[in-house]
Amino acid sequence: MKEQWWRIAFGGDDGARLVVAPGDHLGAAIGVAAVRLGKRGRVWPLAAAPATPGEVPLGESVGKGVVVEREVPERVDAFRPPSGVIAALDAGPRMALATGMAERIADEALVVEAVVAGPDARERFLSVVERLPVVDNIEVRVADHYDAGETTDVWLSPRMREARKAIRFLDDFDVELLRNGHVDLSVYVRSPRSTWRLTQHKTLVWMTVDQALHDKVRGWLAASGLERRDTLETIADRPHHHYRPATSSPRLKLGLRLNRAGLRKVDSIARPTGS
């Protein structure tokens, strides 16, 4: 991939900062900037946008991974998004996203969707997987915007039957899947028919036809501190960017890893014309 420069706003222990950093993809640029800024305390990305030509360092700075600090725009949302998705820095000012969960009914299934900040999204996802009575399959949906692919590829695991096998797989693919904003990750329970999903926008979505199991999962999420809300706004409702971590695999290599782990590609969906 061709190197690109990005403007990235970071939150941190000593306040927000804005940098300009290079990378083959957004996640790589975030990684370069985080190493530089992390020397002064913990940091986390908040928003990003492609840098304009006038914002790119010239001369000796180009190609050396030098990060240039700028003044932070006032409109940057303080909400800390989970790894893999980030607000668009050029979007207009909005109220900060709020964590919480909301319920609905879809296609006769009971649904809970939750917005969770930062690494808590990953932790809550794994916590529910560990508590499920059984895990039958894991589905990995690799979006067409992963490394500018032409298709959304759907991978399915063999029958697992045990939650511990699912946890072992998810631990092995932590960076590749859980922290990757180009992937939808679903855990399936065949009976009662249920799905627990970490979406590419890093929301948590629970769907089931069983009221008793629904009440348990909703209770687990409530006990973790998520408040019930009548409506839920997610980062998908706002201008945003998806990215994969700097240490993650390119699209082709991820497919090879999934295949070696025993998953098979069950579908390949072409990108809609004009998108």
Contact between residue 139 and residue 188 where contact means Cβ atoms under 8 Å apart: yes
Q: Examine the domain organization and report whether 61 and 186 are in the same domain.
A: no
Q: Examine the domain organization and report whether 249 and 207 are in the same domain.
A: yes
Instruction: Return the amino acid letter for 31.
Output: G
Torsion of CA 95, 96, 102, 108, to 10 degrees: 80
At residue 177's C-alpha, the angle toward residues 20 and 237, to 5°, is 65
Answer yes or no: is 134 within a domain. yes
Q: Examine the domain organization and report whether 224 and 157 are in the same domain.
A: yes
The total number of structural domains that make up the chain? 2
Q: Examine the domain organization and report whether 242 and 171 are in the same domain.
A: yes
Answer yes or no: is 219 within a domain. yes
> What pLDDT is stored for residue 60 in this prediction?
45
Answer yes or no: is 84 within a domain. no
> What pLDDT is stored for residue 197 in this prediction?
98
Answer yes or no: is 40 within a domain. yes
Q: Examine the domain organization and report whether 118 and 35 are in the same domain.
A: no
Give the list of residues 6+ apart from residue 242 with CB closer than 8 angstroms, or none. Answer: 26, 84, 85, 143, 145, 181, 182, 200
Answer yes or no: is 94 within a domain. no
Number of H helices, E strands in the chain: 5, 14
pTM over cut 0.85: yes
> What pLDDT is stored for residue 74 in this prediction?
74
Domain stops at, among 25, 42, 76: 76
Domain range for residue 36? Answer: 4-76
Q: What is the pLDDT of residues 182-202, one digit of tens each?
A: 999 999 999 999 999 999 999
Q: Examine the domain organization and report whether 226 and 120 are in the same domain.
A: yes
> What pLDDT is stored for residue 119 in this prediction?
95
* Mean pLDDT, the chain cut into blocks of 10 residues (275 residues total): 86 87 94 84 91 74 65 80 94 82 92 96 96 95 95 96 92 97 97 97 97 96 95 94 97 97 96 71
User: Distance of CA 222 to CAs 134, 184, 215, 216, 225, Å?
Assistant: 21, 23, 10, 10, 5
Give the pair of three-digit tokens for residue 77. Answer: 């949302």
Q: Examine the domain organization and report whether 136 and 237 are in the same domain.
A: yes
Q: Examine the domain organization and report whether 68 and 27 are in the same domain.
A: yes
Answer yes or no: is 82 within a domain. no
Q: Examine the domain organization and report whether 250 and 164 are in the same domain.
A: yes
The DSSP-derived string for 16-58 is -EEEEEEESSHHHHHHHHHHHHGGGS-EEEEEEEEPPGGGS--
Give the list of residues 6+ apart from residue 225 with CB closer than 8 angstroms, or none. Answer: none
Dihedral pair phi/psi, residue 165, rounded to 5°:
-65, -40
User: Average model confidence (pLDDT) for the chain?
Assistant: 91
Q: Examine the domain organization and report whether 42 and 116 are in the same domain.
A: no
Q: Examine the domain organization and report whether 236 and 116 are in the same domain.
A: yes
Rg over alpha carbons for the chain, rounded to the nearest Å, is: 19
